[in-house]
Amino acid sequence: MTLPFIVASVDFASSWTTLWGSVSGSISGLTKILGIIGLLLVVGSVLKWLWERRRGGVGGGFQAHSHVLFTLVLGAVLAAPNFMIEWMLVILDTIVNAIASIGSSL
């Protein structure tokens, strides 16, 4: 039995590459501006974390460091969107295609 709504193959990464190529090509300096914003986010977050740690305000566990991790990921995505978003979409492609292949074999 095959389900008609199951897609045979998904490729989000190539669509992103096409979209990002046209957007970054039409807006000159966009990659540089996003990179600077990402760098400022990362540096600001790490400095804030170091300042809180110096004052003794950072507790233990993931909760105390989650804002640094979130900001590092966001800064990395802004600094290198052509690599980071494509990398995340390749992982998503793999998961969706695995689920689709399992669903189509039912």
pLDDT digits (tens, 9 = 90+) for 55-96: 776 666 666 677 788 888 999 899 888 889 999 999 999 998
Query: 81: Cβ–Cβ under 8 A, 6 or more apart, which residues?
Result: 20, 31, 34
Predicted local distance difference test score (pLDDT) of residue 8: 63
pLDDT digits (tens, 9 = 90+) for 34-61: 999 999 999 998 888 888 777 776 666 6
pTM of the predicted model, to two decimals? 0.70
Least confident range from 3-7, 13-17, 55-59, 96-100: namely: 3-7
Query: 89: Cβ–Cβ under 8 A, 6 or more apart, which residues?
Result: 12, 13, 16
Q: In sequence order, which ranges of 1-106 are alpha helices (DSSP H)?
A: 12-26, 30-55, 62-79, 81-104
**The tokens of 11 are what?**
């490729």
Over residues 5-9, the mean pLDDT reads 62
Residue 13, Cα to own-chain centre: how many angstroms?
12
